[in-house]
């Protein structure tokens, strides 16, 4: 479903402190109807607190939280019509699967017959028809997570919050359930916020990612923007693998590119940093945007960069190879799809080729 213009949640300049630490420090974002947004960040970045502020388990010190245009000040969790999928499912162990799914409906005073219909419908949605009378303790982790999802969606909440939805599952199951989760969320057209520290989860589930660090938002954008155009060094380092070069900007050259003189003295072609030069800068480039060529390669066209080096390790990851190359600029990783086996061996002399357009130029941390 395409995001519409209607705003489901508005979070404006929200501050939440716990004692001396500020868990959420002036966070502002909105989520539109039908949109899936991911709050991504390391543990302690404030994403879970943000989630708890939305659910009403915590109250903000400052700022505004509105759901569907209604202020949430003083509203208890049960007055918010928000669904929350807990990290460890939080299924009621003393109730059956059907009772768990029906719990929210009962408190909304649905008629009995309608509750039964809705429970059946929900269990069909998560492919657990026939499990009505099981107790959650008799089910696998993946099944429990689906029951929890059915319980959340049953009440048709205005907003669905997922707290690390797949982190309690093992890797293989996680991948399967991720696809299924996405399909289910899309099919019911819910507005969703996914809190996670796992970039794959964020990238695959979300229309938009909000990267948080130390209580603040570092960057918001589509998965593609976040990955290809990180706006801070933190975002670049947190999401995906990155090679870094550090140095000073030497100025623009005639071909429209800028030049960066690295700390080791190499001159690299980089895109326009957008801001006037001076100070220390970092350049990051994704490993899959670099190519390994023979040691005698020459720069073909303007905007190419060529770094000599020596292969120190070749790692077979199955679908891809990682070549670890040491050169004047330090250690660099290059990733290449596995099409016909490894092309290089440890000890080979090589050149690394990459385009200026693929580099992202960022002011150095603390500069």
Partner 1 sequence: MSGRGLDNGFRLLGLLMIGVIVCFLLTPIAVTVTMAFDARAYLGPLPPPALSFRWFEQFFSDDYFLRGLSTSIQLAVASVSVSLCVGVATAFALDRASFLGKEALISLFLSPLIVPPVVTGFALLLFLSHMGLVYGFARLFCGHIIITVPYTIRATLASVAGIDRSLTEAALILGATDRRAFWDVTFPLARTGIVSGAIFAFAVSMDDVAVSIMLTDAKTYTLPIALISSMRANFDLSIAAASVMLMLVTLALILILDKFVGLNRVIGQGVFR
Q: Look-up: residue for tokens 């600029």?
A: 329
Among residues 87 and 204, whose Cβ is nearest to partner 1? 87
What is the spatial distance between Cα 360 and Cα 285, in angstroms, rounded to a whole number? 6
Among residues 106 and 241, whose Cβ is nearest to partner 1? 106
**Residues in Cβ contact with 211 at an 8 Å cutoff, skipping those fewer than 6 apart:** 40, 41, 217, 218, 219, 220, 226, 234, 235, 238, 239
Helix/strand/coil for 187: helix
CB of 188 to partner 1, least distance (A): 17
> Which range binds partner 1 by CB under 8 A, 42-50, 51-59, 210-218, 303-311?
51-59
CA atoms within 13 A on the CB side of 237: 13
Tokens at residue 130, please?
């026939």
> Which range binds partner 1 by CB under 8 A, 54-62, 192-200, 205-213, 297-305?
54-62
CB of 129 to partner 1, least distance (A): 22
CB of 225 to partner 1, least distance (A): 32
Contacts with partner 1 by CB under 8 A: the residue count is 24
Give the CA dihedral 108, 157, 67, 218, nearest 10 degrees: 150
* Whether 240 contacts 50, CB under 8 Å: no
What is the spatial distance between Cα 3 and Cα 7, in angstroms, rounded to a whole number? 10
Specify whether the backbone of 109 is left (phi greater than 0), alpha (psi in -120 to 50) or beta: left
Among residues 157 and 240, whose Cβ is nearest to partner 1? 157
Write each residue from 137 to 166 as x if it is in contact with partner 1 (CB under 8 A), else as -, in one continuous string: --------------x---x-----------
**Interface pick for partner 1 out of 30, 55, 200, 261 (rule CB under 8 A):** 55
Among residues 95 and 173, whose Cβ is nearest to partner 1? 95
Specify whether the backbone of 256 is left (phi greater than 0), alpha (psi in -120 to 50) or beta: left
Q: Is 136 in the site for partner 1 (CB under 8 A)?
A: no
* Whether 350 contacts 344, CB under 8 Å: yes
Among residues 34 and 104, whose Cβ is nearest to partner 1? 104
Q: Which of residues 65-124 bind partner 1 (CB under 8 A)?
A: 76-78, 80, 82-84, 86-88, 90-94, 103-104, 107-108
Among residues 103 and 244, whose Cβ is nearest to partner 1? 103
**Interface pick for partner 1 out of 18, 21, 28, 57 (rule CB under 8 A):** 57
Positions that interact with partner 1 (CB under 8 A): 55-57, 76-78, 80, 82-84, 86-88, 90-94, 103-104, 107-108, 151, 155
């Amino acid at each position: 479903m395409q995001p519409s213009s209607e705003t489901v949640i508005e979070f404006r300049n929200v501050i939440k402190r716990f004692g001396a630490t500020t868990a959420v420090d002036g966070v502002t974002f909105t989520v539109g109807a039908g949109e899936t947004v991911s709050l991504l960040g390391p543990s302690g970045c404030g994403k879970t607190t943000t989630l708890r502020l939305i659910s009403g388990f915590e109250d903000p010190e400052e700022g505004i939280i509105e759901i569907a245009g209604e202020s949430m000040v003083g509203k208890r969790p049960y007055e918010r019509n928000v669904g929350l999928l807990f990290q460890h499912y939080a299924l009621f162990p003393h109730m059956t699967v059907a009772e768990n799914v029906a719990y929210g409906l009962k408190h909304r005073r649905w008629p009995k017959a309608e509750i039964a219909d809705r429970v059946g419908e929900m269990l069909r949605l998560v492919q657990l028809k026939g499990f009505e009378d099981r107790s959650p303790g008799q089910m696998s982790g993946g099944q429990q997570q689906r029951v929890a999802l059915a319980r959340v969606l049953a009440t048709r909440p205005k907003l669905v919050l997922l707290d690390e939805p797949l982190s309690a599952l093992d890797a293989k199951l996680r991948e399967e359930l991720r696809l299924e989760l996405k399909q289910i969320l899309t099919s019911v057209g819910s507005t969703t916020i996914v809190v996670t520290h796992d970039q794959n989860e964020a990238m695959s589930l979300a229309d938009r990612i909000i990267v948080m660090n130390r209580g603040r938002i570092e960057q918001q954008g589509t998965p593609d923007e976040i990955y290809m155009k990180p706006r801070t060094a933190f975002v670049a380092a947190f999401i995906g693998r990155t090679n870094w070069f550090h140095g000073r900007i030497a100025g623009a050259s005639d071909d429209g590119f800028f030049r960066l003189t690295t700390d080791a003295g190499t001159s690299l072609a980089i895109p326009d940093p957008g801001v006037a030069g001076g100070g220390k800068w970092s350049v990051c480039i994704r490993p899959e945007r670099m190519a390994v060529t023979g040691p005698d390669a020459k720069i073909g066209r303007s905007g190419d960069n060529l770094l000599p080096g020596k292969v120190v390790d070749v790692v077979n990851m199955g679908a891809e190879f990682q070549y670890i190359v040491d050169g004047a600029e330090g250690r660099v990783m290059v990733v290449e799809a596995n099409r016909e086996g490894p092309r290089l061996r440890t000890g080979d002399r090589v050149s690394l080729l990459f385009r200026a357009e693929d580099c992202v130029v960022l002011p150095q941390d603390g500069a």
